[in-house]
C-alpha cells in the first residue's frame, strides 16, 4: 500500500467526532456480501433489455466478453450498491429492502461511465476496451440510455417509488452539472482571472462524484423506511465522501505507485488534467512556472513543483476535512450499530484504497 492512503487514515483519527467502535475487519467482505445480495436482481433487470443492449450492459459489468462469452474481468467494486444496502440496514431494515435502490444506482453509475468514456475519449476501463471502443460510439450511447431508463423503471415499481425517482433524478441532475463543469474546466486557462479555482473544483467533485454516492445511501434508507433526517444525513455524508474520494484519486493520479494503481506515474499530468493538487499549486507564486512545465510536457519537474508549492499536502488536508464532515453528518442520527460499523469500514476503504 502506498504512503498516501495511510497518511489520510492516520490524520483522520484526530477529528473531533469519534467513529463507531464496531467495525468489520475487512471492507472487501462488506462489498462482497452486498454484491452477492444485489447481483441476482441486477442480472434480472439487465435480462429485460434488448439482447444486444443487454450484452453491452453485461460487458460493462464485466460479466461477458464481446459476443457474450462469459468473462472473468473485474466488474468494479460495487461501492454504490453497497452504500444502498447499508443505507437500508442503517435504518434498521433488512438489506434486501435496499436492493432496488442498489440496482437503480448501479445502472445509473454504469450509464454515466459509458457516456463519460465517450466524452473523455477513454479507450480502456478496468484493463480492457471501453464499451464504445468494443461496440461503437452509437451503440454505447444507446446502451447508456437504456440503463438509465431501466433504473427509473426499477425504482418506480417500488412502494413509494415516485419519491425515490425524484431523489435519483435530483442526483442525476447534479451529476450532469458536475460533468459539464469538468468538461468546461479543460477549456479554461492555467493561470489568470479565468483559471479554475479550488472551490469550483470542490463543487464539481461533489456533483460529479458525491451526488451519486449520497443518493445511493439515501435511497437505501428511503426504501428501508428511515426518518427524513436520517436520509438527509446519509446523502450529505455521501457527498462529502465523494469529494474526499475524488481528491485522494487526484493525488494518486500524480504520485500513486503504478504497481498499485494500475496507472502510469504522473498520468494525470500527462493528460493535462486540472486536478485539485494542480489547481492549488497554480494559485501559488509558482503558478506561472508550473503552467509552462505542464505545457512543455515536463511531468516529473511539474510533479516536484506541485509538491513544493503545497499541492499535495493541501489536497490531503482537504480530503481529511471532508472525511471529518462525513463523521459530523452521521453523528447526529441513530444508525443500526452493525451497519454503521460497515459504513465506516467502507469509508476507510475508499480513502485508503490500494487499487
pLDDT band for position 261 (50/70/90)?
low
Task: Note the pLDDT of residue 4.
Answer: 43
C-alpha cell of 340? 454503521
Segment 202-218 mean pLDDT = 97
pLDDT band for position 260 (50/70/90)?
low
Segment 107-117 mean pLDDT = 96
- Average of per-residue pLDDT values in the chain: 89
Q: Which residues partner with 124 through β-bridges?
A: 129
Three-state secondary structure readout of 267-319: HHHHCCCCCHHHHHHHCCCCHHHHHHHHHHCCHHHHHHHHHHCCHHHHHHHHH
CB atoms within 10 A of CB 70: 8
DSSP string, 48-78: TS-HHHHHHHHHHTTSB-TTS-B--------
pLDDT tens digit sequence for 266-321? 888 888 899 999 999 999 999 999 999 999 988 889 999 999 999 999 999 999 99
Closest CA relative to residue 61, chosen from 87, 38, 33: 38
56-60, 122-126, 145-149: segment of lowest average pLDDT: 122-126
Which residues, in sequence order, are CB contacts of 158 under 8 Å at separation 6+? 100, 164, 223
Q: How far apart are CA 256 and CA 241, in angstroms?
A: 20
pLDDT band for position 13 (50/70/90)?
very low
Backbone angles phi, psi at 67, to 5 degrees: 100, -15
Segment 96-115 mean pLDDT = 96
18-27, 44-53, 268-277: segment of lowest average pLDDT: 18-27
Segment 330-342 mean pLDDT = 90
Which residues, in sequence order, are CB contacts of 342 under 8 Å at separation 6+? 23, 24, 27, 30, 86, 89
Task: Note the pLDDT of residue 112.
Answer: 95
Task: Note the pLDDT of residue 350.
Answer: 81
Segment 14-39 mean pLDDT = 69
Segment 106-116 mean pLDDT = 96
| Spatial contact of 52 and 110, defined as CB atoms under 8 Å apart | no
Which pTM value belongs to this model?
A: 0.89
* Between residues 6 and 342, the one the model is more confident about: 342
Task: Note the pLDDT of residue 75.
Answer: 72
Closest CA relative to residue 341, chosen from 105, 93, 94, 26: 26
pLDDT tens digit sequence for 279-290? 999 999 999 999
Task: Note the pLDDT of residue 353.
Answer: 57
Task: Note the pLDDT of residue 262.
Answer: 63
Task: Note the pLDDT of residue 10.
Answer: 36
Amino acid at each position: 500500500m502506498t504512503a498516501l492512503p495511510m497518511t489520510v487514515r492516520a490524520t483522520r483519527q484526530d477529528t473531533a467526532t469519534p467513529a463507531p467502535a464496531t467495525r468489520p475487519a475487512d471492507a472487501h467482505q462488506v462489498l462482497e456480501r452486498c454484491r452477492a445480495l444485489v447481483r441476482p436482481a441486477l442480472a434480472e433487470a439487465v435480462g429485460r433489455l434488448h439482447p444486444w443492449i443487454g450484452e453491452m450492459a453485461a460487458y460493462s459489468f464485466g460479466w461477458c466478453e464481446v459476443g457474450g462469452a462469459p468473462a472473468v474481468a473485474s466488474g468494479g467494486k460495487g461501492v454504490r450498491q453497497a452504500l444502498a444496502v447499508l443505507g437500508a440496514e442503517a435504518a434498521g431494515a433488512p438489506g434486501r429492502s435496499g436492493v432496488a435502490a442498489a440496482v437503480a444506482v448501479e445502472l445509473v453509475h454504469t450509464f454515466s461511465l459509458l457516456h463519460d468514456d465517450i466524452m473523455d475519449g477513454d479507450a480502456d476501463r478496468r484493463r480492457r476496451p471501453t464499451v464504445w471502443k468494443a461496440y461503437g460510439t452509437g451503440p454505447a450511447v444507446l446502451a447508456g440510455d437504456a440503463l438509465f431508463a431501466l433504473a427509473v423503471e426499477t425504482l418506480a415499481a417500488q412502494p413509494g417509488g415516485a419519491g425515490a425517482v425524484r431523489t435519483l433524478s435530483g442526483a442525476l441532475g447534479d451529476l450532469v452539472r458536475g460533468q459539464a463543469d469538468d468538461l468546461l474546466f479543460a477549456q479554461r486557462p492555467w493561470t489568470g482571472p479565468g483559471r479554475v479555482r479550488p472551490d469550483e473544483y470542490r463543487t464539481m467533485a461533489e456533483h460529479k462524484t458525491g451526488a451519486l454516492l449520497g443518493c445511493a445511501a439515501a435511497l437505501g434508507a428511503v426504501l428501508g423506511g428511515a426518518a427524513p433526517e436520517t436520509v438527509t444525513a446519509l446523502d450529505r455524508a455521501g457527498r462529502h465522501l465523494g469529494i474526499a474520494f475524488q481528491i485522494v484519486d487526484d493525488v494518486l493520479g500524480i504520485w500513486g505507485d503504478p504497481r498499485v494503481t494500475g496507472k502510469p506515474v504522473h498520468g494525470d499530468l500527462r493528460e493535462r488534467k486540472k486536478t485539485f493538487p494542480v489547481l492549488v499549486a497554480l494559485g501559488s507564486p509558482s503558478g506561472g512556472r508550473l503552467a509552462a512545465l505542464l505545457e512543455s510536457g515536463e511531468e516529473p519537474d511539474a510533479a516536484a513543483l506541485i509538491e513544493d508549492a503545497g499541492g499535495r499536502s493541501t489536497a490531503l488536508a482537504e480530503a481529511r476535512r471532508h472525511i471529518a464532515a462525513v463523521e459530523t453528518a452521521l453523528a447526529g442520527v441513530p444508525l443500526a450499530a452493525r451497519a454503521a460499523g460497515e459504513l465506516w469500514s467502507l469509508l476507510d476503504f475508499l480513502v485508503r484504497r490500494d487499487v
